[in-house]
Structure 1
Amino acid sequence: MEIIMDKTKVRRLLGFFGLVLVGCSTADNDMVGGNIQAVNHTLNNINWLSVNGYRADGGGGRSCCIVMPIKWRPGLKAHIEWEVDTDPYAYSKWPPLGTDGYRAAQAKHKINYQHYSAVVDIPEWPEKKRCGLSVHFLVCNQVKVTSSCSSFNSPNYPIKEPLDMKEPAVCPK
């Protein structure tokens, strides 16, 4: 019997086993698994994202897993890639779901998806308190990340930009 797994499932399993293997260790270079969360501040749809090769859903929930050092150290970077749908409600004008017309409209729509990438610093997190990584998608294809354990919109949360931001007529360089 042949077992077939896609790359995402394999990566998640490896991340989980990595967490099990290093979860009790304390050396400076040890790694631990955590969740990735997407927070979309734009009016576009974030279809998916990846952080340092760990792919996640862009829909706003938490996705498993990213592997991060147990201890923060200067110079930690997040290489983020993501896909944007700038017309997320186009499907409301398509033929009925499951029809050839729907599939054709979807294929035509996907051609317009946009891909971006950015490298950002990962801010320091408190010793012995790891809460995964939240990636905030802002207007003008900007991103910010945090490893804060506070909830979004709480006074202690470091990223203050509002949700549902409209793109400005001109983006800063």
Structure 2
Amino acid sequence: MLPTSVTGYNHTSAAINRFTVNGAVGPNIGPHQGGGSEVCCGVIPRVWTPGLRAIVEWEADPNSKLSTKWPPLGTDAFRAELKKHAAKYTHHIVTVDIPRYEVAGSLKVHFLPCDQVRVSADNIKRGEPDYPYNFPLNMEEPKACLGS
């Protein structure tokens, strides 16, 4: 097993307040952001094996822009507003396949519309032609997701 950094890419309009991949903590990510902040350390096998999977757990704030009109920080009114706002956070957990890699690299987690997630563990950077998940950060979100 190799220690590796964890980074995330949020292709949605919700804020990712926190996430883990196989228990390793990743950074919080604003809407349509990612890649700039890495956290250490996750672990991956030096050699990819068939059936390699990741468990991703995350909390999302679907209304992250609402906090701009809140009462002053530290006040009882602020705490009450935060409690009401946090009640709308969504919590998710999924297990996803990690695609084959030739050279082990960092854990990269992509949050997509409709609570879909993709994880790579290769040594290829986002944006390079061989990277498996070159999705735009500002993905169009459907009005309704299949299965919802």
What TM-score results when the alignment is normalised by the length of structure 2?
A: 0.88
1:58 maps to 2:32: no
- Name the SS of the counterpart of 1:132 in structure 2: strand
* 1:1-173 aligned within 5 A: 31-59=1-29, 60=34, 61-126=37-102, 129-173=103-147
* Cα offsets for 1:76-113 (capped at 9, x unmatched): 11011111100011110101222221121111111110
> How many residues align structurally?
141
Q: Higher strand fraction: Structure 1 or Structure 2?
A: 2
Unaligned runs of 5+ residues in structure 2 are: none
* Aligned amino acid, residue 108 of structure 1: K
Q: In the alignment, is the contact (CA less than 8 A) between 2:44 and 2:121 conserved in 1? A: no
Q: Higher helix fraction: Structure 1 or Structure 2?
A: 1
Runs of 4+ in 1 over 3 A off after TM superposition: none
Cα deviation, residue 151, structure 1: 2.6
What TM-score results when the alignment is normalised by the length of structure 1?
A: 0.76
- Name the SS of the counterpart of 2:104 in structure 1: coil
Unaligned runs of 5+ residues in structure 1 are: 1-30
Give the distance between the partners of 2:11 and 2:73, measured in 1 at CA: 29
Give the distance between the partners of 2:11 and 2:75, measured in 1 at CA: 33
Larger radius of gyration: 1
Give the distance between the partners of 1:90 and 1:103, measured in 2 at CA: 14
Aligned to 1:16: none
Cα deviation, residue 158, structure 1: 1.6
Cα deviation, residue 56, structure 1: 2.0
Q: CA RMSD in A?
A: 1.4
* Aligned amino acid, residue 157 of structure 1: Y
Q: Which has the higher contact order (CA 8 A, sep 6+)?
A: 2
